[in-house]
Structure 1
Amino acid sequence: MTDTGPADTRDSATTVPQTPKSFFASLELDMRLIGMIAALFVIWVGFAAFTDGRFLTPRNIFNLTIQTVSVAIMATGMVFIIVTRHIDLSVGSLLATCSAAMAVLQTQYLPEIFGLGSPMIWIFAVIGGLIVGTAIGAFQGWMVGYLAIPAFIVTLGGLLIWRNVAWYMTNGQTIGPLDSTFQIFGGINGTLGESWSWIIGMVLTAAALAMLFASRRRKSSHGFPVKPMGAEVALGGIFAFAILAFIFILNSYSIPERRLERMFEARGEVMPEGLVQGYGLPVSVLLLIVIAIVMTVIAQRTRLGRYIFATGGNPDAAELSGINTKLLTVKVFAIMGALCALSAVVASARLTNHSNDIGTLDELRVIAAAVIGGTALSGGIGTIYGAILGALIMQSLQSGMAMVGVDAPLQNIVVGAVLVLAVWVDIIYRRRAGL
């Protein structure tokens, strides 16, 4: 008979009580995310000092958000591409092809079918762009997955092909002006106003708090350790403050008086004397928020997301476990194509026309945003919010340098240096963290 008494006594005698965590440690924050937020804060404060505070005015913050949207939308898809150990160099050219298709549809074909001014024009134009983008993305994914052609080569060819396909679709001409309703997705021509912006802000705050405490309840029900309630409340307060402060800043950017008068005149009304209204949340930013939520849910709560990260972590093991990695590659590139189409909507609507140079060098900006946001080029690691934050950091650098008066070539030099520095810092961080 085995005597377990002494062993039990020894185990109980040698048990070391755990050291209580500090309040900051109990928050269990992603230190890499904190580092990126700190870097963004330093960039903003630095440029604010060099521009006598103009960089942090509500007007510039508003412009900064709408300038970030197009690249940020594609960066969310690039996360999936890089996580599965691929690359897509064609996103800027694919954006141009989708933009050209939508411009031609809404200026040449759809008005003849539905009549000028019909709301069906912008709807079918967007649907057409999504079909084009998704089909091209799936085709490229098929070549990568089923024909085993390296993604670098397929998309490098796509970079050359789709840019010139767009040129031939429009005969090299600028197409516009685009449908007035379509232009709502561009930013300043489409905002929700102060009241609706506050409503959306409240809804987003409530959703964030609900998700935070639902996650706590789910962990507790499965016996996993949870944060102290004080830490959960503090995180909820941080989320609520960030969302509502963002809405407050956007609402603080007032519509110029003459523009406001024209808006009232268009409705057949007289503007009350002394009225001041803010632009509020741009529709394009709301679109980015929706896409970010959907992509995060796909990454964290769906089988597709689990397959994507499993394949990126170990492709051979994923295939042996029954994952159809070839079909998964097609799906990932198809998602990227659809996001390029949505980005084309935002970019062309902001310009109010389609131009030949739309999306030029966006492929580099998108890849840089994903990598700066923490997506590992070795695959298996990446976050949607990180990619969006990476896009915001890049746009902040470019906008700030433009306001300071830095020449465009030097701007690109700085952005390139920041990209290399970000990858180097990421390598050091992962080595020390044992990732």
Structure 2
Amino acid sequence: MTDTTNAPAAPSNPPPSQAARKGAWSRFLTATELDTRLIGMVAALILIWGGFHMYGVLVNGQGFFLTPRNLWNLSVQTASIGIMATGMVLVIITRHIDLSVGSILGFTAILMGMMQVNILPQYLGLGHPAIWIITVVFGIICGMMIGGFQGALVAYGGIPAFIVTLGGLLVWRGCAFLVARGETISPVDATFSLLGGGPYGSVGATGSWIVGLIICAGIVFMIVNGRRQRTKFEFAKRPYWADTFLAVLGCAATVGAVLLVNSYYWPKGIVKQYIAANDLNVEAETLFISHGFAIPVLVLVVVAVTMNFVMNNTRFGRYVFAIGGNPEAAALAGIDTKWMTVKIFAIMGGLAGLSAVVASARLNSATNALGTLDELYVIAAAVIGGTSLAGGVGTIFGAILGALVMQSLQSGMVLIGFDAGMQQVVVGSVLVLAVFLDILYRRKSK
């Protein structure tokens, strides 16, 4: 017989260097408490931006995507969808859906157009400073009433949200056509139009730095206050280096955004108009005026911060997650789930009304076709941002990132010359892929 030797068993553990790397990354995520899904979305966004920019370099010899002008326009285009996506997060978390947000946007835009063009000037006078304020409040209230009505049908009527909002998609679009008789209402109030962005609808270089400093101060305050609260209630605290890292990262991103928007200057034609209007003795070629942050972007930031605070720091937000996690248990715990449903749909409607303000102001007119198919982009933004269609899971800032991803895809495809049909194919495919990845993520996390 010949002697045989057994081969050594393969090691069950990965090599020390690989294990160390994996352990270091896991420890980093645990210490900083960063959401891996948000990190993945940021990485996907970087790939999308880089891909479209490299396409321009290879085809045209010059990149067209990663430019101050395009990124500034991209931020403005994202504002309307992003505002509604923050409300859609609440709706989907509670296991509902709202297919009517685009039609509510179009209908409220028509109502606001009629208000500021045909009604208020008769009583207040053309160009009265109160016209835009009354119009904005009127539009938001109309949106909330429509949303609340649909929520009541869902909660107290027992009609599935899919059916109610599908009907609303048709009803409110038809109402928009009937009110305006298919006509375009234009131009809107001059001050109201500033809410849509543009050279005059921005805060300029100095205003952007003030906004940036406020945001940086807010980031530092939230981290310091969060650590204080954890100490007060004896919760586990992040390491000091992790808090410092998050503060530096947030402030660096804010400063980078300020530098970006300030590097996009007014077009020379607008500069010449500005010089003529102010009787300045200067050549247009020597005057550089920064756009700074556009007003719609600042509106989106305020909405996002407010909604994030509501979701994570109030009883209402805890109730939303409780209903989404288990509606029956939430009802047994004493939560009025029906009234909560009405309030959630009312908030969604109000945010659709606010988006109508931004969209119609940016267009400087109101049409019954405004907001067409926006409901698909809003739902896609929320789902891509990590909101689970199974309910109980979702983040506000994730939805904002999702809206930015969707708008980046659409903008990039327009720039490289994709036709409308191909754009819809890509958007639909991305939505299906996002839901599939959500299913895989939930399976893995169980």
Q: Which residue of 1 aligns with 2:345?
A: 333
In the alignment, which residue of structure 1 is the partner of 2:215? 204
Displacement after TM superposition at 1:258 (Å):
2.5
Is the contact made by 2:48 and 2:408 (CA closer than 8 Å) also made in structure 1?
yes
1:283 aligns with 2:288: no
1:382 maps to 2:397: no
Shift of 1:22: 4.1
Q: CA deviation at 1:356?
A: 2.4
Cα contact 1:105–1:125 (8 A) shared by 2: yes
Equivalent position to 1:37, from 33, 42, 58: 42
Structure 1: runs of 5 or more not aligned: 1-17
Residue number in structure 2 paired with 1:239: 250
Q: Do the aligned residues in 1 keep the contact of 2:383 with 2:435 (CA within 8 Å)?
A: yes
C-alpha RMSD over aligned residues: 1.5
Counterpart of 1:36, as a letter, is M
* Correspondence 1:77-226 to 2 at 5 A: 77-188=87-198, 189-226=200-237
TM-score under structure 2 length normalisation: 0.91
Q: Secondary structure at the match of 1:96?
A: helix
Give the one of 412, 434, 439 matched to 1:422. Answer: 434
Distance 2:155 2:282 in 1: 59
In the alignment, what sits opposite 1:406? 418
Of 324-333 and 213-222, the range deviating more from structure 2: 213-222
> Given residue 261 of structure 2, which amino acid in structure 1 is its aligned partner?
L
The 3 A distance-change label for structure 1 pair 24 and 84 is closer
- Residue 332 of structure 2 aligns to which amino acid in structure 1? L
Q: Deviations over 1:78-110 (max 9, x none)?
A: 000001111000000000110000000011000
Q: Residues 261 and 271 of structure 1 are in contact (CA less than 8 Å); yes or no, is this contact kept in structure 2?
A: no
Q: Identity rate of aligned residues, in percent?
A: 51
Report the 3-state secondary structure (helix = DSSP H, G, I; strand = E; otherwise coil) of the residue aligned with 1:357. coil
Is the CA contact (8 Å cut-off) linking 1:86 and 1:151 kept in structure 2? yes
- Cα contact 2:107–2:368 (8 A) shared by 1: no
1:272 deviates by 6.0
Cα 1:139–1:261, aligned 2, differ >3 Å: closer, same or farther?
same
CA distance in 1: counterparts of 2:49 and 2:326, whole angstroms: 39
Gaps of 5+ in 2: 1-22, 58-62
SS in 1 for 2:293: coil
Q: Shift of the alpha carbon at 1:57?
A: 0.2
Post-superposition offset of 1:229: 0.5
Question: Deviation per CA, 1:32-78, whole angstroms, max 9, x where unpaired?
Answer: 11000000000000001011221000000001000111111000000
Mapped contact 2:266–2:289 kept (Cα < 8 A): yes
Residue pair 1:261, 1:270 contacting (<8 A) in 2 also = no
Give the alignment partner of residue 256 of structure 1, picking from 264, 267, 270. Answer: 267
Task: Give the SS at the match of 1:56.
Answer: coil
Q: Partners in 2 of 1:229 and 1:332 — Cα distance? A: 38
CA distance in 2: counterparts of 1:430 and 1:76, whole angstroms: 22
Scaled by the length of structure 1, the TM-score of the pair is 0.93
1:270 Cα shift? Answer: 3.9
Q: Indicate whether 1:306 and 2:318 are aligned.
A: yes
Bigger mean CA deviation after superposition, 21-30 or 75-84? 21-30
Residue identity opposite 1:358 in structure 2: L
Partners of 2:157 and 2:121 lie apart in 1 by 41
Aligned to 1:12: none
